[in-house]
Chains A and B, each alone.
Chain A
Amino acid sequence: MINLKGCGLGLRSDFLLDLEDTKFRPDFWEVTPENWMFMPKLFEKAFEQAVFERPTIAHGLSLSIGSVDKLNKKFVKQIKTFLDRYNIEYYSEHLSFSSLDNKQSYELLPVPMTKKMIEVISDRVKEVEDIIQRNLILENATYYLVPYSEMAEVDFINEVMEKSGAKMLLDVNNVFVNSVNHGFKARRFIDQIDKSKVAYMHTAGHYFDEEANMKIDSHGMPIDKGVWKLLDYTLKQVDAPVMIERDNNIPPLEELITEYKQMKKIYKEVRNG
């Protein structure tokens, strides 16, 4: 694997063409393969330049690793072609399911947290890794309800990583959102995660939905103070790169750069003691 370091940013078509007018480059980019496998020619050159001038990692949406279903091998092969084409070594996905019986929800749905599910996911991780010829990295997802559970989330995640051999993408915002929505201590969750498995980390924005009385992981808002604090706490325990994931309501690049600098400051302060 490449030695990924520092602070990253999700590369989005909304500001891709603006990169020409700025010297700003993050330490690494994260791209969503599903959004770049097909792209207007207008973006092609700028995209290639971006991914070749900075280390780039991929974060997928549609793998649905947690489906009790047959793996969509055709899709996984398309992912591999994309990763090979742009020489991307890291490929992460979500510990959730989004499709079933060949039908897509395009949303990250919570999996039943059972021993059997761990087996199912582990088998599927191995299938995916055989095809992509890379380690799969799995992200702790947000959930607004637990459909069925035999164990605590943190134990489920640790066991999935252990049994499957997958690496972990620790999403600090997701931990924060879940902790508020489901009434547990975020720091305790961080304490209990197997840090040796963490490949890199995410941070992102969320909002509070009054009607549902829950925090919603929207990736469409600036990062919350509480999440920055939790990131600071996490960075003291986890020696891994971190990045901002902004998918919706994307502001002008300057605003993202400001937020990126804020993250970098926290990162440097922790790393330099």
Chain B
Amino acid sequence: MAKLERDVEDRFFDIITNQKENPSSNAFGIYQKLVFYRYEEIINNTFPLFIKYVSPKELDESIFLFLKNPPSTPFVWQIADDYRKMVKRKKLFHNRKFLYELLYFDWIELELLMKEYKTKKIKEFSWENSYTLKQSARIKRFKYDIINTNYEEKRENFTVIYYDFSSDEVLFREINEFLYALIKNLNKKESIKKTLKKLCKQNDINLNEAMEVLEEPLKELIGFRVI
């Protein structure tokens, strides 16, 4: 048991992550700064929209708080997701809740870009087939008008965010609430028609009419490998 070595490393790590003052050496301050800047750089790069709405002081304070419980991922780019979750969990900026949605919007773009996808040939749409949301896409109910860049304005909207295989970019588009609910309820065990049927029944909607309206948008989403 390397007790002494354990104590030395524990103390060192504690001083630099908790950004505690240590008068015995200003070199601790160098490490504190280096660690802080590393986190700050990732947060600035990942959340360009979010950082426009927080002051430098607020940002610094949130990073200090984040450092008290550092992430475990060995991959630096993934720090951003832990930071995003911490901000929400600790209810920081709770008087500007649109910031939580901005954090999500910024993060999801990076997450979808960094994934490795296996693509299969797109099959023709059939109501008898079962579908699920692909790994390359997310659906999100926003409470603020994020997608029209009116970030601070309240407006409930439903959005599909997806990796576009032709441009290698992450794109998004607004969808209606009913299509959002349908995608959310899709599962491997039943056909899309069966899922839609249940949804129509719950919402007192005519199945045939719903099929007619939804067929084209669904074909489009399949083409984009969203479902």
A contacts, CB < 8 Å to B: 34-35, 37-42, 61-62, 67-68, 72, 75, 97, 99-100, 102-107, 109-112, 114, 116-117, 119-120, 144-145, 147-148, 209, 212, 214, 216
Distance A104 CA – B31 CA, assembled complex (angstroms): 13
8 pairs from A and B in contact (CB 8 Å cutoff): A39-B114, A40-B168, A68-B9, A103-B69, A106-B79, A107-B34, A109-B9, A147-B8
Contact A114 B27 (CB under 8 A): no
Closest Cβ of chain B: how far from A34's Cβ, in Å? 6
Known contacts A114-B4, A116-B2, A116-B5; is-contact A99 B10 (Cβ 8 Å): no
Instruction: Enumerate chain B residues within 8 angstroms of A68, measured Cβ to Cβ.
Output: 2, 5-6, 9
Closest Cβ of chain A: how far from B184's Cβ, in Å? 27
Name the residue of chain B whose CB is nearest to the CB of A43. B168
Known contacts A38-B77, A100-B13; is-contact A112 B5 (Cβ 8 Å): yes
Distance A97 CA – B31 CA, assembled complex (angstroms): 13
Distance A209 CA – B26 CA, assembled complex (angstroms): 12
Name the residue of chain B whose CB is nearest to the CB of A105. B35
Distance A67 CA – B34 CA, assembled complex (angstroms): 19
B38 at the interface (CB under 8 A from A): yes
- Residue of A61, A100, A214 contacting most chain B CB atoms (<10 Å): A100
Known contacts A38-B114, A114-B4, A117-B5; is-contact A104 B71 (Cβ 8 Å): yes
Closest Cβ of chain B: how far from A142's Cβ, in Å? 10
Contact A109 B16 (CB under 8 A): yes
- Residue of A61, A107, A120 contacting most chain B CB atoms (<10 Å): A107
Instruction: Enumerate chain A residues within 8 angstroms of B25, measured Cβ to Cβ.
Output: 145
Instruction: Enumerate chain B residues within 8 angstroms of A120, measured Cβ to Cβ.
Output: 2, 5
Contact A62 B30 (CB under 8 A): no
Distance A75 CA – B72 CA, assembled complex (angstroms): 11
B12 at the interface (CB under 8 A from A): yes
Distance A244 CA – B175 CA, assembled complex (angstroms): 50
| Majority secondary structure, B binding face | helix
Distance A34 CA – B4 CA, assembled complex (angstroms): 31
Contact A112 B4 (CB under 8 A): yes
B28 at the interface (CB under 8 A from A): yes
Instruction: Enumerate chain A residues within 8 angstroms of B6, measured Cβ to Cβ.
Output: 68
- Please provide the chain B residues from 1 to 48 with a CB less than 8 Å away from any CB of chain A in the complex: 2, 4-6, 8-13, 16-17, 25-31, 34-35, 38-39
Distance A212 CA – B113 CA, assembled complex (angstroms): 39
Instruction: Enumerate chain B residues within 8 angstroms of A105, measured Cβ to Cβ.
Output: 13, 16-17, 35, 70
B73 at the interface (CB under 8 A from A): yes
Contact of B38 among A35, A38, A106, A145 (CB under 8 A): A106
Contact B114 A40 (CB under 8 A): yes
Instruction: Enumerate chain B residues within 8 angstroms of A42, measured Cβ to Cβ.
Output: 168
Closest Cβ of chain A: how far from B40's Cβ, in Å? 11
Instruction: Enumerate chain B residues within 8 angstroms of A100, measured Cβ to Cβ.
Output: 9-10, 13
Contact B4 A116 (CB under 8 A): yes
B76 at the interface (CB under 8 A from A): yes
Instruction: Enumerate chain A residues within 8 angstroms of B5, measured Cβ to Cβ.
Output: 68, 111-112, 114, 116-117, 120, 148
Name the residue of chain A whose CB is nearest to the CB of B42. A106
Instruction: Enumerate chain A residues within 8 angstroms of B56, measured Cβ to Cβ.
Output: none
Contact A147 B12 (CB under 8 A): yes
Name the residue of chain B whose CB is nearest to the CB of A213. B26
Known contacts A38-B115, A148-B8, A212-B26; is-contact A107 B16 (Cβ 8 Å): yes
Instruction: Enumerate chain A residues within 8 angstroms of B10, measured Cβ to Cβ.
Output: 100
Distance A39 CA – B113 CA, assembled complex (angstroms): 7
Contact B9 A112 (CB under 8 A): yes
Known contacts A38-B114, A147-B12, A212-B27; is-contact A107 B77 (Cβ 8 Å): no
Contact of A109 among B13, B73, B113 (CB under 8 A): B13
Instruction: Enumerate chain A residues within 8 angstroms of B34, measured Cβ to Cβ.
Output: 107, 216
Distance A144 CA – B27 CA, assembled complex (angstroms): 6
Closest Cβ of chain A: how far from B74's Cβ, in Å? 4
Contact B74 A62 (CB under 8 A): yes
Contact A40 B113 (CB under 8 A): yes
Given contacts A103-B13, A114-B4, 8 further A-B contacts (CB under 8 A): A41-B113, A41-B117, A75-B74, A109-B13, A112-B9, A145-B27, A148-B4, A148-B5
Contact of A209 among B13, B30, B71, B114 (CB under 8 A): B30
Distance A233 CA – B106 CA, assembled complex (angstroms): 49
Instruction: Enumerate chain B residues within 8 angstroms of A103, measured Cβ to Cβ.
Output: 13, 17, 69-72
Instruction: Enumerate chain A residues within 8 angstroms of B117, measured Cβ to Cβ.
Output: 41
Distance A105 CA – B19 CA, assembled complex (angstroms): 12
Closest Cβ of chain A: how far from B224's Cβ, in Å? 15
